[in-house]
Amino acid sequence: MLGNPLEIHQSLILFINIIGGLTIGMLQHDLSANQAANTYILLAVGDALVAQIPGLLISISAAMVVSRVGNEQDVGRQVAEQMLGSPLVLGVTGSLLVVLGLIPGMPLLVFFPIGGLIAFAAWRKSQKPILNLENSSTAPVPVDSEASWDDLQPVDPLGLELGYRLITLVDKDRQGDLLSRIKGVRKKFAQEMGFLPPSVHVKDNLDLKPSAYNITLRGVVIASGEAFPGQHLAINPGGVSVPLIGNPTTDPAFGLPAFWINENQVENSLSLGFTVVDCETVMATHLSHLMQINAARLLSRTETQQLVEHITALAPKLIEEVVPKSISIPVFQKVLQLLLNESVHIRDMRTIIETLAEFSQITDPEELSRKIRIALAPAIVQHIYGTVNELEVMALDPALERMLMQALTNPNGGQALDPGVADMLSKSAIELSRQQEDNGMPACLLVPDPIRLQIARLLRRIVPRLQVLAHSEIPETHSIRIGPILRGNT
């Protein structure tokens, strides 16, 4: 059907030419109907075809201009490479010319030689040897410019790599709000930990599964997970025995059993006691949890310098006599990292700076961090126990405590702990920590001051949620109640 006014116009002209040609041929030139039709219809159709040629050329030219937008190569070279460089294009062109020459009435002596020549060129080009890809890597790659330092891409301090199905989560045109969630995670981290973390570099990674993502720290993958846009994660907080219709999985942040469910199952899951979160919240929570765990590694020299500048702007008299005059930036950074390694926030920078000023003659970062922990004891205890005044703690068996004191504080033989004792201590700490958490109490071990740091380092990787406090870190306003005992024969 003809819907374009130009097509209707051209069809009417063709129809009028045919009728007018038949009429003139039969009435003026005394031709028969067959002769008039053979002559004037052929002329009318030829005239219509010739009239289409300018439009065809204009369309081809416009298509060539549009298709090469953004390409710096000149149009002549592009046409030569794309139209004359492909054996397939030349072969099709030569075949069409030969077929056109075989049509009755077409000039065979013109089309056939040209078509044959183009087809022969296509055959010769297809016979050229193909470059061996295995050896091509050794050939020099032509470049337009010399290499520069701009070609060196720095390693991202903190990154998030997405599979292609997750790219919609960062596309604002598709209502993706993952980027705003990440901004909220960084803001919350700064408010809780006391320093601004580096920006999260979000990029796609086609090597991942479509719904997978990686979280990287200084170019190294520290965690992976899967998320499904349009679905929700129903997390079992404990005690829910009714299964859901969905894909069973685990919460990537805390390892709790969970199910990926559709939108229509959200209300039912909530009524059963599940905690239901959307896809973006799952990824943001996972990122936030890992940032909390790796807070010490996120505090690089850059962040430390920015923190010093921030404190200087707010309270110049507080810090100008301490950092970097008495305490150098590297030592200050190490002290803060030691605190963050044990989940001690550095928000109370006034107390930290005042303690450093008081003990500025000490150069050992570990000893400085011990002094700061004592000064921050009320905040540390409140972070673990809340606002209660009586603290139930785990303690060491007296015989085990004496053994550890002798092994870890021996001034002559150095610090050495028997592997069997270390293994026994670790197993006992795992069991008693689980008992405390099952009873709704925080897992906190109270040890003598001289061995607190060594015990904390030993148990940190095995029982990450176990807090190790020294006797001097219990505020005077609080009392303690001895709970489970770590015994040497456990």
pLDDT, tens digit, for every residue of 374-424? 999 999 999 999 999 999 999 999 999 998 888 888 665 555 678 888 888
Structure token pair of residue 157: 């301090």
Amino acid at 179: L
Judge whether 307 and 205 are in contact, CB under 8 Å: no
Q: Name the more confident of 94 and 462.
A: 462
User: What pTM was estimated for this model as a whole?
Assistant: 0.67
CA-closest candidate to residue 14, choices 38, 39, 49: 49
Output the CA angle 461-465-470, nearest 5 degrees.
Answer: 90
Fold assignment, 158-294 = Glutaredoxin (3.40.30)
DSSP3 helix / strand / coil % (the chain, rounded to 5): 55, 15, 30
CB-CB neighbours of 461 under 10 Å: 8
Rg, the chain, Cα only? 39
CA dihedral 198, 199, 202, 208 (to 10 degrees): 10
Q: What is the pLDDT at residue 466?
A: 92
Q: What is the pLDDT of residue 382?
A: 94
Pick from 72-81, 143-152, 267-276: least confident: 72-81
The string of pLDDT tens digits covering residues 152-169 is 888 899 999 999 999 999
CATH superfamily for 299-375 is FHIPEP family, domain 3 (1.10.8.540)
Most confident of 86-95, 148-157, 329-338, 419-428: 329-338
The predicted model gives 269-297 an average pLDDT of 94
Indicate the pLDDT class of residue 131, thresholds 50, 70 and 90: very low
> Residue 66 has which token pair?
């549009």
Q: How far apart are CA 450 and CA 406, in angstroms?
A: 11
Token reading at 339: 């605190």
pLDDT band at 111 (very low <50, low <70, confident <90, very high): confident
421/438 Cα distance (integer angstroms): 26
Nearest partner of 367 among 449, 308, 311, 475, judged by Cα: 449
Among 123-137, 287-301, 311-325, 436-450, the range scoring the smallest mean pLDDT is: 123-137
> pLDDT band for position 139 (50/70/90)?
very low
Say what the pLDDT of residue 81 is: 66
Examine the pLDDT at 1 and tell me if it is beyond 70: no
pLDDT digits (tens, 9 = 90+) for 36-93: 777 777 777 777 667 767 777 777 777 766 665 545 556 666 666 666 767 777 788 8
Alpha-carbon gap, residue 342 to 295, rounded angstroms:
10
Above pLDDT 90, what percent of the chain? 50
Q: What is the pLDDT confidence band of residue 193, given thresholds at 50, 70 and 90? A: very high
Name the residue ranges covered by the structural domains of the chain. 5-62, 83-125, 158-294, 299-375, 389-486
In this structure, how many other beta carbons lie within 10 angstroms of the beta carbon of residue 383? 15
Q: Which residue has the tokens 């020299």?
A: 301
Chain mean position to CA 444: 35
349-381 residue pLDDT tens: 999 999 999 998 998 999 999 999 999 999 999
**Please, which pLDDT band fits residue 488 given cuts at 50, 70 and 90?**
low
| Start-to-end Cα distance in the chain | 91
Mark out the alpha helices in 207-348 (DSSP H runs): 266-272, 279-293, 295-298, 301-314, 316-319, 329-341
**Cβ atoms 369, 331 nearer than 8 A:** no
- CATH code: domain 389-486 is 3.40.50.12790
| Whole-angstrom distance, CA of residue 274 vs CA of residue 312 | 47
Burial class (CB in 10 A: 0-12, 13-18, 19+), 75: exposed
Beta carbons of 466 and 430 less than 8 angstroms apart: no
